[in-house]
Amino acid sequence: MFIRITLLAALLALLSACGTTTITPNYSASNPNMKVGNDRPEDTEDEIENAGSFCLQINEKWHKDGKTPDGKALWSKDTFRKVVPCP
């Protein structure tokens, strides 16, 4: 009888704990490759980077990658690199 009451109390505590709190999303992470918001981030200008014996042209573009549960847009950054002659 004691075990049944203990199990019932634990089940009621678990159910009441799950139903009372809602986790609010936190969008303040500092990931430079992902942004949250409805405004599209700015693409960067092409950049030439000297890699010693060759140069790389680096281009970064943002694309929409879905939505958050509360309807805000998720933006992901793509980085494109190609070998170019050094200036």
27-to-24, 66, 73, 75, 84 alpha-carbon distances in Å: 10, 15, 11, 12, 38
Q: Containing domain of residue 85, as a range? A: 33-87
- Quote the number of domains for the chain: 1
On whether residue 11 sits in a domain, the answer given is: no
On whether residue 22 sits in a domain, the answer given is: no
pLDDT tens for 34-73 read: 888 888 889 989 999 999 889 999 999 999 988 988 888 9
CB distance 78 to 64 below 8 Å: no
On whether residue 61 sits in a domain, the answer given is: yes
pTM of the shown model: 0.59
Per-residue model confidence (pLDDT) at position 50: 93
**Minimum mean pLDDT range among 3-7, 8-12, 78-82:** 8-12
Q: Quick one: tokens of 67?
A: 């939505």
